[in-house]
Chain A
């Protein structure tokens, strides 16, 4: 009887050990110890104005991922450099793969600028409002398509918008 009990507990201990190893592996897959800072500048052209010239703006997106937190700051400027509005978002981040992250925005703040909102700002505002009001969060994933840390650049693809963007790597 005592010998049988000994073997019973030996089996249980072995199972427990294997389970701990499996849990450790799963935890490794989902650990959030990443750090990434990107600065992405874009020229915005709005071609909706059929007759006259395009509406032009500049967009600077600062993306900061630190641990499990993400901050995305969209800043819009007119051609003369004056602020045309901004959207500051923050939320949680999860690493999906080596160069892929899932960002769950749960809070945002919009600040007005001078004149009419750029079309891109209206678009980002509309989509994020829609998701935040409906789901309580605005999900987006980002994938680094190409990176060269020595030259401080990264080409990033945002989903689900399918936006490809070249960015400066910040240190």
Chain B
């Protein structure tokens, strides 16, 4: 009987590949499985039925059946191995003609379709996530001073006083210190400073003052950090600021 490119002689148990001129004398398992499949060609045969067995020989094990099918497929070669199809839950089916690889069954097509849409959905999901991230990724905005106030010395020189706070409320202590700075600066005749930055630490334990200015073409920077653990706090007063030569 012809199976793909092979010829099977049931009587002798010889399988011959007609193109390669190869011969195989099939062992008992392969011979029995192939004979049974031929007897039921076109319909699935369960593994149980393929096990056979009788008075002469014991039945084959499931793994022997599976191995025999595998060997038979290898004899048929890659072009015709699909003649023996594994039918899930039913067993094995010997086709009369080799199913075309170019035209997969509906099931294969469905599986392909499922896989394709899975990849598309995954890519689309990742893309949507990335676009969402890019749209919602807002760079932190530059800090804006709580108060930006112009101060003038006795000679009419202008300075900027800038106060920085973490919140726009509960800044009474900082504003009190700013008032002292303002009074002292406005009592100066002139100063080398152009800008004064002031901030209170988040726990209100340290007052930071940064003075920036210029003298003889050189940039000047002075930082004062005043810690005060006393209650009530009195970081600075007019006398103290004059003592540290705020006017410069």
Interface set of A (CB-CB < 8 Å, partner B): 1, 5, 8, 11-12, 15-16, 18-19, 22-23, 25-26, 29, 40-48, 50, 59, 96-100, 119-120, 123, 143, 145-146, 148, 151-153, 155, 157, 159-168
Look across to chain A and name the residue whose beta carbon is closest to the beta carbon of B234. Answer: A47
B205 close to chain A: CB less than 8 A: yes
Task: In the A-B complex, list the 6 residue pairs whose CB atoms are closest, starting with the nearest.
Answer: A22-B130, A166-B221, A42-B223, A151-B219, A15-B123, A97-B139
Look across to chain A and name the residue whose beta carbon is closest to the beta carbon of B198. Answer: A164
- Nearest-Cβ distance from residue A18 to partner chain B, whole angstroms: 5
Given contacts A15-B127, A164-B208, A165-B210, A43 and B222 within 8 Å (CB-CB):
yes
Q: How many angstroms from the CA of A26 to the CA of B136 in the assembled complex?
A: 12
Contact with A along B93-121 (1 / 0, CB 8 A): 00000000000000001001000100110
Q: Which residues of B contact A168 (CB under 8 A)?
A: 221
A selection of 7 A-B contacts at a CB cut-off of 8 Å is A12-B116, A29-B134, A47-B226, A47-B235, A97-B142, A100-B140, A143-B140
User: How would you classify the secondary structure of chain B's contact residues: helix, strand, loop or mixed?
Assistant: mixed
Q: Is the CB of B206 within 8 A of A123?
A: yes
Q: How many angstroms from the CA of A159 to the CA of B166 in the assembled complex?
A: 9
| 18 extra interface residue pairs, beta carbon distance < 8 Å, beyond A123-B206, A155-B197, A166-B211 | A5-B112, A12-B123, A15-B124, A15-B127, A18-B127, A26-B130, A42-B223, A48-B227, A96-B139, A98-B139, A99-B142, A123-B227, A155-B212, A157-B143, A163-B199, A164-B210, A165-B208, A166-B223
